[in-house]
Amino acid sequence: MFQSHGVANLTQQWLQRYGWEILPHPAHSPDPAPSDFHLFGPLKRHLGGMAFETEDDLISEVRNWFDNLDVDFFRVGFNSLLSRWKKCIDLHGDYVEK
């Protein structure tokens, strides 16, 4: 089974080491997390229609997808976050559509 707590801890340590500010996201917020906007849609489209015999096969395919992403994929995602956050700030925290 995938150890998500270990990955979360490593991610938080990495963010702290490089001085990135960790923005809070309420656990039961109706708004999607920032990663939902740019990351999971393309991943869902990539995996659509595929069938996996084991969890390891699925994990392998997801890792392969990440390994083959272009750096620009992440640059576009981060840039879109900046504009979404600005909209949210300008709207005093109200819901932000695409």
Q: How far apart are CA 52 and CA 83, in angstroms?
A: 37
Please give the C-alpha separations between residue 30 and each of 23, 27, 77, 91, 92, in angstroms, as whole numbers.
16, 9, 20, 16, 16
98, 87 in Cβ contact below 8 A?
no
Residue type, 77: G
Q: What is the pLDDT of residue 62?
A: 95
Q: What is the pLDDT of residue 69?
A: 92
pLDDT tens digit at each of 98 positions of the chain: 444 556 678 888 888 888 887 776 666 555 656 566 678 889 999 999 999 999 999 999 999 999 999 989 988 887 887 777 777 777 776 665 65
Please, what is the end-to-end C-alpha distance for the chain in angstroms? 35
pTM above the 0.75 mark? no
